[in-house]
Amino acid sequence: MADDKRLINFFQEKPYLITLALAGVLVLVVGLAIVGIGLGRSGGAEIEIREAEPQASESAGTIYVDVGGAVMRPGLYQLKSDSRVNDALVAGGGLAKDADRDWISQNLNLAAKLTDGIKVYLPFQGEATEVLGSADQLEGKININTASLNQLDLLWGVGPATAQKIIDNRPYAKVEDLLDKKAVKANVYEAIKDKITVL
């Protein structure tokens, strides 16, 4: 009884403590209510954080390339559309041991992009012989996919720089690719188109 009187006297002397106590209880109740609402919305389930999966790149498409000559496995290969000559060589199992490696290193651009339906032919030793004389004396047409720099230099309007440009843009699916790949000018192409081939 004495304790109750002291408590009443205490609060009568300091009424602001009642206000503070009530404010504290109110804050506690509001805080618990907010937390409860948050839990109710999430259903109490744990939030799972996942790493974003890498976006699958769109299919680059495919092309078909005929790989022949001095390779381990000549044949028709399906490659990605952004493939290079080196990819065709790898698909063919690499160079055969009797491949003309000197000619290939000097004349074949392994970084050139492939096009659908092209043939990539790698010569055997002794197959890619140097031809002397003028282009008019050559039997048949010059294969722009296999001709050496000296052979291409024999064509009208094709000097060493243009011949190297032709080599750097190999392979060609058709002779018109010389224009499409900007390897020669239009007037040069018109002059040589009947003297060249891709076969």
Could you report the average pLDDT of every consecutive run of 10 residues in the chain (199 residues)? 63 64 71 60 47 45 90 92 90 91 82 84 74 42 86 87 91 90 92 87
CB 94 within 8 A of CB 72: yes
On whether both 20 and 97 belong to a single domain, the answer is no
Full domain range(s) for residue 21: 2-40
Q: What pLDDT does 133 receive? A: 36
On whether both 68 and 11 belong to a single domain, the answer is no
Indicate the helix (H) or strand (E) that contains 77: strand 75-80
Residue 53 within any structural domain of the chain: no
Total domains in the fold of the chain: 2
3-state secondary structure of 26: helix
Q: What pLDDT does 135 receive? A: 39
Residue 70 within any structural domain of the chain: yes
On whether both 193 and 121 belong to a single domain, the answer is yes
Laid out side by side, the sheet with 119-122 consists of 75-80, 62-69, 119-122
Residue 192 within any structural domain of the chain: yes
Q: What pLDDT does 90 receive? A: 92
CATH classification at residue 132 = 1.10.150.320
Residue 55 within any structural domain of the chain: no
Q: What is the pTM assigned to this prediction?
A: 0.46
Residue 179 within any structural domain of the chain: yes
